[in-house]
Structure 1
């Protein structure tokens, strides 16, 4: 339920030496090393060298930890401070993708409510940048959604592809695509960075043309 979100509850006072920042840092490290499936409150308490009771003072559930960790990933995305709207929007979403790929587990959590301060600040920046460019009314969320969903979709697909490292699985994928010649020729083995940059260019070109056409 929404009212149970860690972001919608008053923050408790710290019980040092354990702090919420330390909990989040250790949770991100554990997730990076072993993935979401291996994250439990008990294992996190052990890594923090503390008891579960102390940990539960700061966070109620694993969901709290995941929400905080995901927002920490968003916090790694710098806010561009130079260039025109196109440069700033492109730089933001490219850095957003890079942050997600540094922490592949994060792509599996993108259906969670994005109510953390870092996620909201980046979303606000994207909206403000596009509004400055001339998007307004229903065009503004449409433009923002186009960029944000492109980033999350691209990162999710890449993370899943890179996780399929078993040669036997890769061979099965190739065999499966044999009946689909266009996919077989272009759907596997491409340069993810180059593909993302090209697709981002298509989106930004279309947005720029839309603005010019409206003037």
Structure 2
């Protein structure tokens, strides 16, 4: 009977508690029950990040995390209400790995580029995190908000109009998340690349530009990301306040 209650609770978390207005950052953390083994939010986060790094988002369940922590699932539920809470905590921990500069430099563009590149490296170290936006939950953890504050203040210092601030922020956000998700998931073998390029060559009459520019074979992710970021920042520079 206890197993069914735990399973039902996890299955329902996405449709009820996980979609409620409140989330883990808007609720106080709960202490240990009397007589329970010590379990802290820090331990839960550390174990969750390790589990996600090792096995990916698909394998994360409250039961699996409880096993890794060597506690009962009911003990884990005392500290975090849903799997979404666990993911929110784990994602925010990633943003805490690389501290945001305490001050801006003389070049807002350099500040933005440095932050975006650090963001990309954090996502590449933990590629499962790039799938988080599909969960339709905003990131409002303290570490992420510190990054966002630095980014948006740098955009305003660069002269971007306030009514363009959020669109610019989302453009940069999507560049990081989209690029890292693609790089992490699109891992073609040399043989797959060769066959794909041969196919494009055979279809050159239909797709001459695609066939001629190594669409499949080009895996210089660093170059593509850097040039894409330049495009975005150059475009934003044309919309600064005069």
TM tier, smaller: 0.7 to 0.9
Structure 2 distance, partners of 1:27, 1:40, is 10
Aligned with 1:125 (options 144, 147, 150): 150
Structure 2 distance, partners of 1:38, 1:23, is 16
Cα RMSD of the aligned pairs, angstroms, is 2.3
Where 1:60 maps in the other structure, the secondary structure is coil
Structure 2 equivalent of residue 106 of structure 1: 129
CA contact (8 A) 1:74 1:118 kept: yes
Deviation per CA, 1:177-204, whole angstroms, max 9, x where unpaired? 4533433433222310111111212222
Mapped pair 1:186 → 2:209: no
Structure 2 distance, partners of 1:182, 1:60, is 52
Q: Shift of the alpha carbon at 1:121? A: 1.6
Structure 1 equivalent of residue 231 of structure 2: 202
Aligned with 2:55 (options 22, 34, 51): 34
Q: Shift of the alpha carbon at 1:4? A: 4.5
Q: Shift of the alpha carbon at 1:175? A: 5.6
Aligned with 1:19 (options 23, 31, 40): 40
Where 1:186 maps in the other structure, the secondary structure is coil
Structure 1 distance, partners of 2:186, 2:198, is 16
Q: What is the TM-score when the length of structure 2 is the normalising length?
A: 0.77
| Count of matched residue positions in the alignment of Structure 1 and Structure 2 | 211
Structure 2 distance, partners of 1:4, 1:96, is 26
CA contact (8 A) 1:131 1:140 kept: yes
Q: Shift of the alpha carbon at 1:14? A: 5.1
Ranges in structure 1 where 5+ consecutive residues have no aligned partner: none
CA contact (8 A) 2:160 2:237 kept: no
Q: Which has the larger radius of gyration?
A: 2
CA contact (8 A) 1:78 1:95 kept: no
Q: Shift of the alpha carbon at 1:140? A: 1.7
Where 2:88 maps in the other structure, the secondary structure is helix
1:21-100 to 2 correspondences below 5 Å: 21-80=42-101, 81-83=103-105, 84-100=107-123
Deviation per CA, 1:115-147, whole angstroms, max 9, x where unpaired? 211222211211111112222231222222222
